[in-house]
Amino acid sequence: MRILVCVKRVPAPGARINVTADGMAVDSAHLGFTTSPHEECAVEEAVRLVGEHGGEVTVMTLGPAAAEEQLRYAASVGAHRFVLVPIQEVDWDPQRTAAALAGAIGDVESADGAFDLILFGNESADAGGFQVGVRVAYALGRPVVNGIKGVDIADGVASARREVDGGFEVYNLPMPAVLGVKEGINLPRYPTMKGRLASKKAEVVVDERSVEVGGQARVRLHRPVETVSETVILGTGPEAAPAVVDLLEELGLLT
């Protein structure tokens, strides 16, 4: 089977997110870059499925030239083919992104046939637009479900599990299909040293797309106001236990 995973290069999370002086971008001076976490899991899931059912994994990204790094990372954990849709800007709005990806996917599919499965991350770690996968699926005319935390393939059907309070919903999508996966679907492997070295040789196809901008335009980014308050020290060591339990009682948690 052939699986496509669409990934996004994002600043590595973990630090306070600062904004450039013009407010138009995240200040990445101190930040590394990574594959958006849900999508890292999507790559892992694709590699796992192909390991189980045979086939190959293609990874596509829309981003700056440096996003090649994320494609190579995917190569280092087992993906096979790579497409970069280069952009000059920091980011594209969701409509524009989806249109460009749908076009680029069309290019690949017209040459090699339809992908059995296309995986997206549920949402990107940075912009968090919650829509690109759905838009692409609609453009391609394929069924799509988001929030997926488990996939099984059998008889041309992708059986996808979505976490809800207390359990899972199960969706059975005939392939070709599209899924938006969520972190937790698997624990993505780390690249091995050999994988990393091999990834340097991976060939990246560049597919430049020209697409109109969508209706959502960034005006500026800014940080929310953080509230700072003094910590109340309940005590030191085990002697503090009664004060802790008083607090729990106060919050009505001891009933």
Partner 1 sequence: MSDFPTRANVVVIGAGIVGNCLVGHLARLGWTDMVLLDKGPLPNPGGSTGHASNFIFPVDHNKEMALLGEQSANQYRDANLSVDCGGIEVARTQDRMLELDRRMTSARAWGIEASLLTPAEVKDLVPFINEEVILGGFYCPTVSVVDSLETGTTMRREAVETAGCQVFANTEVLDVETIEGEGGVTTVSSVVTDKGTIATEHVVIACGVWSNRIANMAGATIPLVPAVHQMADVGPMDILAETNNEIGYPIVRDMDTFCYERQSAGSMEVGSYGHRAILHHPDEIPSNQDAALSPTELPFTDDDFDPQMETAIELMDMLGEAEIRYAINGLLSLTPDTMPCLGETTEVRNLWSAAAVWVKEGPGMAQVVAEWMTYGYPRVIDVHGADIARFYDEERTEEHIWSRADEHFIKTYGIVHPAEQWEGRRNLQVGPYFSRQEDLGAEFFQARTWERPQWYGCNADLVERYGLSEREVEWDNRWWSPITVGEHLNLRENCGVVDLSSFQIYELEGPGAVEYADRLAVNKVDVPVGRSIYTPWLTPDGGFHSDLTMMRLGEDRVRIVTGVFDGGRDEFWTRRHMPTDGSVTFTNITKQLTTLGLWGPRAPAVLSQLTDQDLGQEGSPYGSIIDAEVAGLPCQLFRISYVGDTGWEVYARWEDGPKLWDALMEAGADLGIRPTGGGVYGSSGRLEKGYRLMGAELESEYNPLEAGLARPRVKAADFIGREAYLAARAVGDPEVLMCTLTVEDQTDAQGRKRHMMGGNEPILTMDGGRITDSHGRVSRVTSAGYGPSVDRHLLMSYLPLELCTPGTDLQVMYMNELFPVKVAGSGAVFDPDDTRLKA
Partner 2 sequence: MSLLVICDHDRGKLAEASLEALAFGRSLATSAGLDMEAVVVGEGAESAAVDLAAHGASTVHVASHELLTDFGPEAWGETVTQLVRSSGAEVVLACGTDRGNEVVAHVAARLDQPFVANCRSVEPDAGDWTITRVQWGGSLLEDVSLTAEVVLVTVAHHAVEPSVAAAPAAGVVAAFRPDLDASLAHTVVADRVVLTRGVTLSTAPVVVGGGRGVGSAEAFGPLEELAGLLGGVVGCSRAVTNNGWRPHSDQVGQTGTRIAPDIYIASGISGAIQHWVGAMAAKNILAINTDSEANMVARAGHAVIGDLHQVIPAIIEEIRRRRG
For partner 1, the binding residues in 10-49 under the rule CB under 8 A are 12-16, 18, 29-33
14-53 positions binding partner 2, by CB under 8 A: 14-17, 19, 26, 37
- Torsion angle defined by CA atoms of residues 73, 78, 82 and 85, in that order, rounded to the nearest 10 degrees: -40
Nearest to 156 by CA among 176, 178, 179: 176
Among 130, 191, 238, 241, binds partner 1 (CB under 8 A): 191
Q: How far is the CB of 197 from partner 2 (least distance, A)?
A: 24
Q: Tell me the closest approach of the beta carbon of residue 202 to partner 2, in angstroms.
A: 25
Sites for partner 2 among residues 113-132 (CB under 8 A): 122-123, 125-131
Residue 38, strand partner residues? none
Question: Between residues 157 and 204, which has the closer beta carbon with respect to partner 2?
Answer: 157
176 upstream amide cis, omega within 30 of 0: yes
Out of 86, 138, 196, 207, the residue judged to bind partner 1 by CB under 8 A: 196
172-191 residues in contact with partner 2 (CB under 8 A) are: 172-174, 177, 180, 183-184, 187
Question: For residues 51-80, which are near partner 1 according to CB under 8 A?
Answer: 69
Cβ atoms of 80 and 56 within 8 Å: the answer is yes
User: Segment 217-246, which members bind partner 1 (CB under 8 A)?
Assistant: 230
Q: Does 206 interact with partner 2 (rule: CB under 8 A)?
A: no
Among 63, 19, 71, 18, which Cα is nearest to 40's? 71
Contacts of 155 (CB under 8 A, 6+ apart): none
Chain mean position to CA 25: 19
Please state the length of the chain.
Answer: 255
Q: Residue 31's CB: how many other CB atoms inside 10 A?
A: 17
Interaction of residue 192 with partner 1, rule CB under 8 A: yes
Q: By CB under 8 A, tell whether 190 contacts partner 1.
A: yes
Gap between the Cα atoms of 221 and 98, Å rounded? 22
68 vs 91 by CB, closer to partner 1: 68
Site residues (vs partner 1, CB under 8 A): 12-16, 18, 29-33, 69, 189-194, 196-197, 200, 230
